[in-house]
Structure 1
């Protein structure tokens, strides 16, 4: 049951209206049912409008999510394209550098400066292109030597006693 204050502030339901009309004489029942039908039609129209509005909001939210997803995918593709271009540039630079060093070592070696030709065709021929192509500056052989260096030996003068 509701208090009189609550019943004044809220709209009566269709069932409450029908109950009130049922207390009247039977000839008024037809009028009560007509009013009940009109109230149900209004409630149905309001609910249908609310559902259409909610469906429109849901459709807008879905469109916004799709646009956001497309933008994220486009940004990812641009990042991948830039990374590919950077990798390809490093590959070309490494090849040009290695070829230039080989040609330079042959030219310098024919001039009689074998030590300079050895420097150009030696370890630097492998180290510099690795920096450009693999984008690393660490030596490949250092991974196997990860153990700590042995402690320095103590001099006899450092030993006590």
Structure 2
């Protein structure tokens, strides 16, 4: 049981109320049961309100998570759209460059400068559009890595 000081600061439970009323004569039992029923209804209402509040908090948390997820998906879509636009721009630039080089090669070749036409229609016709379309320059990067460093830039342990 609880101490007298605790009884004053907290509300009695339904069991404590029933125990107190059980000590009275039997004719008061009907009144005790009515009071017990009212107390149980109040407890039920408080518990229901607490559950509704908790459910509302859960719904708010789910809404926040949903909004965050929508923002993340929208950012990914913008990034993908930007990447697609860059890729498409590279394709257009590569096609325009290749077509321009071919047209220039034909015009210069008909003008009697076959060596210049060969340069325009040769390896550069393949290399430049590849840089724009595929966004790669493997051969250029490989050559730079394979080339020996200048003698004045040798590491300290390789210095002669």
TM bucket (normalised to shorter chain) is 0.7 to 0.9
SS in structure 2 at match of 1:139: helix
Deviates more, 1:130-139 or 1:108-117: 108-117
Partner of 1:11: 11
Runs (5+) with no aligned partner, structure 2: 149-160
User: How far apart, in 1, do the equivalents of 2:7 and 2:126 lie?
Assistant: 91
1:141 Cα offset (Å): 10
Query: Number of residue pairs matched?
Result: 149
TM normalised by structure 1 equals 0.78
Pairwise CA RMSD: 2.6
1:72 Cα offset (Å): 2.3
Larger helix fraction of residues = 2
TM normalised by structure 2 equals 0.78
Partner of 1:64: 64
Runs (5+) with no aligned partner, structure 1: 150-161
Deviates more, 1:95-104 or 1:44-53: 44-53
SS in structure 2 at match of 1:2: coil
Q: Does 1:75 align with 2:75?
A: yes
Matches for 1:11-160 after TM superposition, within 5 Å: 11-139=11-139, 142=142
Partner of 2:152: none
